[in-house]
Amino acid sequence: MESQVGVGLIDQSFDTRYSFWAREVLDEMPDCFTITDPSLSGHPIVFASRGFLKMCGYPRNEVVGRNGKMFQGPMTCRRSVMEIREAVRYEKTLQISLLNYRKDGRPYWMLFHMCPVFSKEDGRVIHFLAVHVPIVKKLQRRSWSSGSSNGGVSFSEDGYGFAETVRGYCRRDVGGGGGGSDSIAELDRRSFAVDSDDRELDIDDGPCEAGDLEKRKAISAVDSILSVLTHYSELTGKLVCSRRCCTPETAFPSSLNIILGRIKQSFVLTNPHLDDMPIVYASDAFLELTGYDRHHVLGRNCRFLCGEYTDFAVTSQIKESIEAARPCTVRILNYRKDGSSFWNLLHISPVRNATGKIAYYVGVQIEECSKNLDRNVLSPEQRQRSVVGTVKVAVRSSSMGAESSSRS
């Protein structure tokens, strides 16, 4: 089972934001949760708690680097999956009952509580935190003999005695009535008891809705985890918060991160509404071309690629084109992180949102070389136009969705 994203990118996503020590603290927490990064291709999991790994039955190396859809199965509600996708797209908190599957194929109901984690500096969504709370549901026993070693307890073949006991739990937890004496600790004990033997979910009875107890447990877990993330982000100087601390115009939507991550060409997006027009998105191919890590690129102006022998008449041409809000194509000498130089066939173009206002500038980089002479390979101009067109469609679509969401 291969990870979709390299280990290096996963480590950068988490450690550069919260520091390595945050992992140890989070791993000591009893809650089941995952942390995902929408800026990486495929929106992969970058951290999975021990409790979550125990619940789903997967080892950490088979979970980290992959998308959460790996836990879905044939009976997972497609509408629920779409609700999760929409919440990611519009960067909203979501709480929903969801049927997932363990590694051995057994299904289990859980309360899925997901919320965005924002950068305090620029309002971007850095990560999504998802807490998974098991839901106690009506179960059925395969068969228990009267002479079993389970404390001498006897059950009928259909498991009636056990089913009645669990129905009592469900009436209190799911119905929310008569459960005033229940506690989160009791829910933990029941969840452990369900997972510790061969009892099976009866998924034919339809959805299992979470009760107040599960919801309180999810909210309590989210608060605790966000407190840890906030504390360790202070140690790195890259603060995070649970609410966006800037205007939507300057924030980069996570939905764009996911869409743009599918483009394999080297390119960046810069925001003209921020001071010094910094890079707000950098593709994986751009990082590979220049040798820089993502956290060394975001927030910087593109001129950091210039060096001793860069022709500054070309940079002046770029500046004039941006001030006139028109596209331009230039050949410029740039420098990688290791100091080596390369000739960059650079195309820059304004990108407008659904209202016609310039939201970003896209810069597409192609290293000049002789390998592209093959007739079957697109010319640099064709590749650049393809990237620009895809980016423009994505930005318009994202801005239209954001507007419709704000009206509702």
Give the CATH number for residue 327.
Answer: 3.30.450.20
Domain end residue (candidates: 246, 273, 296): 246
> For position 354, what pLDDT does the model report?
86
Mean pLDDT value of segment 320-345 = 95
Residues 92, 204, single domain; the answer is yes
Tell whether 180 and 296 lie within a shared domain.
no
pLDDT tens-digit profile of 82-106? 999 989 988 889 999 999 999 999 9
Distance of CA 137 to the CA centre of its chain: 29
Give yes or no: residues 17 and 49 share one domain. Answer: yes
- Secondary structure element (H or E) that encloses residue 226, with its range: helix 212-236
Query: In this predicted structure, which of 32-36, 156-160, 355-359, 363-367 has the lowest mean pLDDT?
Result: 156-160
Mean pLDDT across the stretch 348-364?
93
At 12, give phi and psi (nearest 5°).
-60, -45
- Backbone phi, psi, residue 321, to 5°: -65, -40
What is the DSSP-derived secondary structure letter of residue 375?
Answer: T
Q: Residue 206: pLDDT above 70?
A: no
End-to-end CA distance of the chain: 41
Could you give the number of structural domains in the chain? 2
Residues 6+ apart with CB under 8 A from 53: 59, 60, 63
Helix or strand run (H / E) with residue 316:
helix 312-323
C-alpha to C-alpha distance for 396 and 392, rounded to whole angstroms: 6
> Which among 212, 246, 280 is the end of a domain?
246
- Rounded CA gap, 173 and 180, in Å? 10
In a shared domain, residues 236 and 304: no
Sheet with 358-367: strands ordered across: 279-282, 267-270, 358-367, 341-352, 328-335
Q: Is 340 exposed, middle or buried (0-12, 13-18, 19+ CB in 10 A)?
A: exposed
Task: Kindly report, residue by residue over 220-249, the tens digit of the pLDDT.
Answer: 999 999 999 999 999 888 899 888 765 555
- Beta carbons within 8 Å of 2's beta carbon, 6+ residues apart: none
Stretch among 8-12, 258-262, 354-358, 401-405 having the lowest mean pLDDT = 401-405
- Please report the pLDDT score of residue 89 as a whole number: 83
The domain of 241 spans 1-246
Rg, Å, the chain Cα set: 25
Same domain for 314 and 230: no
Please name the residue that has the structure tokens 């080297």: 266
- Least confident piece of the model among 133-137, 283-287, 304-308: 133-137
User: Could you tell me if 287 and 225 lie in one domain?
Assistant: no
The angle formed by the CA atoms of residues 316, 320 and 324, to the nearest 5 degrees, is 170
Whether residue 332 is found in the same domain as residue 217: no
pLDDT band at 19 (very low <50, low <70, confident <90, very high): confident
342 plus 240 within the same structural domain: no
